[in-house]
Amino acid sequence: MNKLSWGSLIILLASLVLSLELYALTFLAEIISFDPESLLRYNDLIKGAVGVMCGLIVYGVMLVLLHFLEVHKKDKYSK
């Protein structure tokens, strides 16, 4: 597999994990809306999930930028 295929696969898996985490956060938000005191119990879990989501977003953006830089470099040197 070339780098583009691996990058696409990684971005696809990252988006799948991101959607699962958003579903889990939605479920937690429903629990918290019924019991505001449970926010204190799930605070660390929510912070961790948001941190992982932000990390996946940054990683995906870096992969896309790396792909565009490689394509631009190939176009520049192929002329």
Residue by residue, what is the 3-state secondary structure of the chain?
CCHHHHHHHHHHHHHHHHHHHHHHHHHHHHHHHHCCCHHHHCHHHHHHHHHHHHHHHHHHHHHHHHHHHHHHHHHHHHC
Q: Of 60, 70, 73, nearest to 19 (Cα)?
A: 60
Ordered by start, the domain boundaries in the chain are: 3-78
- Judge whether 42 and 28 are in contact, CB under 8 Å: yes
Give the pLDDT of residue 18. 75
> Is 60 exceeded by the pLDDT of residue 10?
yes
Distance CA(11)–CA(2), nearest Å, equals 14
pTM summary value: 0.50
Mean per-residue pLDDT for 9-18? 76
pLDDT digits (tens, 9 = 90+) for 27-75: 777 766 776 676 677 777 777 777 777 777 787 778 777 777 777 676 6
Give the pLDDT of residue 40. 72
